[in-house]
A and B are shown apart, each in its own frame.
Chain A
């Protein structure tokens, strides 16, 4: 029996077994593992962050009244800044951080160079570095932060995208949230400027007009926010036309809908996915939509579809 014979006989000696798991199962497991690794990296960096923050406070640059014996935000130091820990020379690359006024409600941002920007009084609980894997072009960060007695989870990019929500209760897994939120962003793939294919989305019936310029959810859809204040170029609708916009959840997908009824004709509902370019609010989406309906160099506008 030669090698070829033996190889063939071994190959025939058993079948293919039950159906294998679909590839996306392995993909999810891989993403979780990658995220855990990043969280571990972030946690290591946080120890340094605490030292860096303390340094800021000592140098008088902290503008939140942080005093002696407190962390950078003026709050009690976290475990990483425990008094019995000497400010050793960092053995991991530091996670750069600076303080800045981020405007009303602004808690955290990330600079073009990946520096984490914290508003005064904000303390970092946990960081996932670059969950969108978009550095160096557009660094991102998922950050669990505390100000006062409130903890919020934010996903931010250097290009200005921000999604933020109160921390999920019951000791939920921040890293899992960061992974899920990052995965839900089609903008993870359109930051290069390409528009997503929205053709199939137009088949969805997500909302209908209610009274006036209100929108009502169709079954299977939840309206998360809506507005009748839709100010877009006239290539979308004239000022007197009936218009509205909504941000909706449809089977877990976050989508925007632009609604218009031109000159009493049938209503139209234009569906667009939430991406890094649309942002996660109606305001940011309408700003994005305005750019799509502006007249181009040739005098036309492509709009959102």
Chain B
């Protein structure tokens, strides 16, 4: 595949799907800066693997799998070490995280779920993946998907019932 073709196809794909994938990353990690970080990393891997992934027609699944398999807790620790907004009182971060005014109680409840419960709920009940697909995306057993999802949805329903 020629470089120009790779660049064009990749750019078109990013322009078309970036927003959706970025929302997935945000829903998983709860912070726009970290979401951008995760997505950037995933897109970089995608570019390197582009000819193969493109041929298979699995670009979005490839990215989604990288995003949801990111160890968010570890990523948060790494990110905190690397990003120090307001350093010395004048070196502010390039972008602030989105204000909470754009998030509902449901989203906050999602973020309060244990990581794997949150991921299974998002994949199963937001993105519409089957149990088997979710298990494949996360690299866990279908039974584990079911139990995580069940607990996660139960916790969310409590929040929704109270609002």
Contact = CB atoms under 8 A, between A and B. Distances in A.
A158 to B, nearest CB: 15
Nearest to A133: B3
Interface stretch (B16-24, B69-77, B82-90, B136-144): B16-24
A192 B121 CA distance: 49
A25 B10 CA distance: 12
Which of B4, B19, B22 is packed against the most chain A CB atoms within 10 Å?
B4
A132 B18 contact: no
A7 B23 CA distance: 14
Interface residues of B, number: 44
Contacts of B107: 10, 13-14
Interface string A6-43: 11011111111110110111110111111001000000
Contacts of A133: 1-3, 6
Nearest to A135: B2
B46 interface: yes
Nearest to B157: A1
A3 interface: yes
Interface in B31-47: 32, 35-36, 40, 43-47
A134 B153 CA distance: 51
A145 B80 CA distance: 42
B92 interface: no
Given A6-B153, A16-B23, A21-B36, A26 B47 contact: yes
A82 B19 CA distance: 51
Contacts of B128: 3, 7
Contacts of B46: 30
B19 to A, nearest CB: 6
Interface of A: 1, 3, 6-7, 9-18, 20-21, 23-27, 29-34, 37, 132-134, 182, 188-189
12 contacts: A3-B125, A14-B104, A17-B26, A21-B40, A26-B40, A29-B44, A30-B44, A31-B7, A33-B45, A34-B48, A133-B3, A133-B6
